[in-house]
Structure 1
Amino acid sequence: MTIIKVGVIGCGSIAGHRHLPEYAANQNVEIVAVCDIVEERAKEKAEKYDAKFYTKYEDLLANEEIDAVSVCTPNYLHAPVSIAALNAGKHVLCEKPMATSDAETKAMIEAAEKNGKKLMIAHNQRFVPSHEKAREFIESGKLGKVYSFRTAFGHGGPEGWSVDGADSWFFKKEKAFIGAMGDLGVHKTDLLRYILNEEIVEVAAFVDTLAKENSTVDDNAVCILKTESGIVGTLAASWSYVSKEDNSTVIYGENGILRLEEDPDYSLVIQHKNGEVEKFDLGKIQSNEDGGQNTSHVIDQFIHSLVDDTDVPINGYEGMKSLNVILAALESSETGKITKVK
């Protein structure tokens, strides 16, 4: 059996709820090292998973037994840490958003290609069963021409999720770069690209800080997106949905409507043009509210690619294209103009 020796850089909530437990549950993985600038946090995770701990990621990357790393740091460190890891000969699974600029994404891709290592971006929404089935339904032609869509991702904010609560780096522009759009919106740009199987080419957006005091990043955004074939729809990302998380998507087509993660009992509802309704219970979508109980499938997909030496399902180019939609939205909001996506 092939064993992939893994290190996790950053021991905050996403590492604690997703990466570390999902690595531990994978029979092809041995967690050998963890790193965090907060020593007690690194120590606690090291003891829990019987691993070495570091407080400097450079020291972890110098550990030659490590095959791959997860980069679970604040957003501004995604690119430099990932590039350093790739240059150190490690495969990399990087949390989203991939980076803070188009130039950084290209540098990450270049480092992966130069070193012959795999780079995967942790966009988990592609692996949600209702999303996979919706893509298949559209690809089959049964929905006919797609006219429009609306998608939303909102919750009460990272203070209820981050290990640092209201003092989290999520609210600091110098570390986060972007707020709800980077935390939630980029999930949805990646999802729309995946489900519709085409690129988003133009964006008009309002991106603002409305709900969070002492925050220097956005917490609410509404965007109008246009795809290459002319499909037009909306995307909302918010940290101000105070009562219940919304992670729903609706696709409007020639022959019916697909409702994803909208009904509390059925993860996919297909409303056909002729009045028939199909309901599918495909399991709950991964959520901050589930306390990490539902797997993200990201770790298993990453490790599968390493064990079998196959392409990762969400490579650097995919991460770059999804981030570029967000960057275009920020530009649109700043200029008050419709912006073309790079």
Structure 2
Amino acid sequence: MEVTAVRPIKTGIIGCGWFGEAHARVYREIPGVELKSVADLNIDRAKRLASMYGTSFYKTAEDMLRNEELDLVSIAVTPQYLAKTAIEVAEHDVNILLEKPLATKMSDWKNLFSKIKKRDLIFVPGFIELFNPAYRLMKEIVDSGELGDLFTLSSKRIGRFPKRSLKWEVGVTLDLGLHELYAQTYLVGEKPVPISCFISQMLNNENEDISILILRYGSTVGIIESNWLTPIGVRSVRVTASDGSIWLNYMSQEVGIDKGEESRIKRPRWREPLLVELEYAVKHVRSGTKPEINEDFANIIMNTLFEALGIAKRIP
């Protein structure tokens, strides 16, 4: 019986910082994927990453896209250039995995969203926590109805202000709060409506470093707290419901269920969320099918975030 060889999915990476390096490492772990090329305006950084994985390298995205035949490109550049770079890729009819926050201005996101729709591309937003095995377990339990009707979702994502070699034109809402918004929205399956938003600038930065969002998902209330001030990292969410509650620790990949006198902790088999995410993108590029986590879902998240920031009240 003759076995037909599977054509490798040819991938590229734009942005060779620490997260671009992570994408390169993970692509090499996925069977049937060939990492072909990398690009970065810092040509030395691109050259170094290319030498690690035996790929070609370029200074600009345009040069890479013009010279390489690629099926999927990961974009992990500085936030203010994410949307612009993704539009360049879309204009070459190449499928996209775009790291968060996707865009730093609503106008940039709208332009990108329009381009993706016009080109009919496969687009996967870099909503990495949706691919965390513990988050997926929590969603399975919530979807099963075991906990009854959902009342509240309370998310906390905090940590010390990140040291970065390049300036990021983004506040903590788009940097950290975004993770919890897409996680809450996907968990509940309802379109979020922002009720209020409170922000503060404690470190005298150009953008907010404390953010508290209050949202409504149908009859469920969501609260999202994020900051760059606390000297410990916390990434967690707790859901309360009519028949119990459930909590998730993203970092330890643990899920806790509390029902009456019963409490139990579940730990799914550990997997790297980035690996699961890239496998998901590759699967849909290979099959040519539209993913559930796509530009339409991303559009809900981006519209909600920018609407919330538009009504934000500053805390002195």
**What is the TM-score with the length of structure 2 in the denominator?**
0.91
Aligned match of 1:251 = 239
- What is the one-letter code of the residue matched to 1:46? A
- Please give the residue correspondences for 1:1-342 in structure 2 after superposition, counting only pairs within 5 Å: 1-16=6-21, 18-159=22-163, 162=164, 164=165, 168-170=166-168, 176=169, 178-211=170-203, 215-227=205-217, 229-242=218-231, 244-261=232-249, 267-272=254-259, 274-282=260-268, 295-334=274-313
State the alpha-carbon separation in 2 of the partners of residues 87 and 67 from structure 1: 13
How many residues are aligned here? 310
Identity of aligned residues (%): 24
Which structure features the higher share of strand residues? 2
- Could you tell me whether the CA contact under 8 Å between 1:5 and 1:65 is conserved in 2? yes
State the alpha-carbon separation in 2 of the partners of residues 138 and 99 from structure 1: 31
State the alpha-carbon separation in 2 of the partners of residues 131 and 263 from structure 1: 11
- Could you tell me whether the CA contact under 8 Å between 2:195 and 2:214 is conserved in 1? yes
SS class of match (1:323): helix
SS class of match (2:67): coil
**By how many angstroms is 1:324 displaced?**
2.1
Query: What CA deviation, in whole Å up to 9, does each residue of 1:295-319 have, x standing for no partner?
Result: 4521111111111222224211111
**By how many angstroms is 1:240 displaced?**
1.6
- What is the one-letter code of the residue matched to 2:237? T
State the alpha-carbon separation in 2 of the partners of residues 262 and 54 from structure 1: 35
**By how many angstroms is 1:260 displaced?**
0.7
- Could you tell me whether the CA contact under 8 Å between 1:130 and 1:282 is conserved in 2? yes
- Shift of the 9–263 alpha-carbon distance from structure 1 to 2, 3 Å rule, reads closer
- Could you tell me whether the CA contact under 8 Å between 2:132 and 2:250 is conserved in 1? no
SS class of match (1:156): coil
- What is the one-letter code of the residue matched to 1:325? T
**What is the TM-score with the length of structure 1 in the denominator?**
0.85
State the alpha-carbon separation in 2 of the partners of residues 93 and 262 from structure 1: 22
Spell out structure 1 runs of 4+ moving beyond 3 A: 283-286
SS class of match (1:325): helix
**By how many angstroms is 1:200 displaced?**
0.9
Query: What CA deviation, in whole Å up to 9, does each residue of 1:210-230 have, x standing for no partner?
Result: 13x5x3222211121212x12
- What is the one-letter code of the residue matched to 1:277? S
- Could you tell me whether the CA contact under 8 Å between 1:123 and 1:187 is conserved in 2? yes
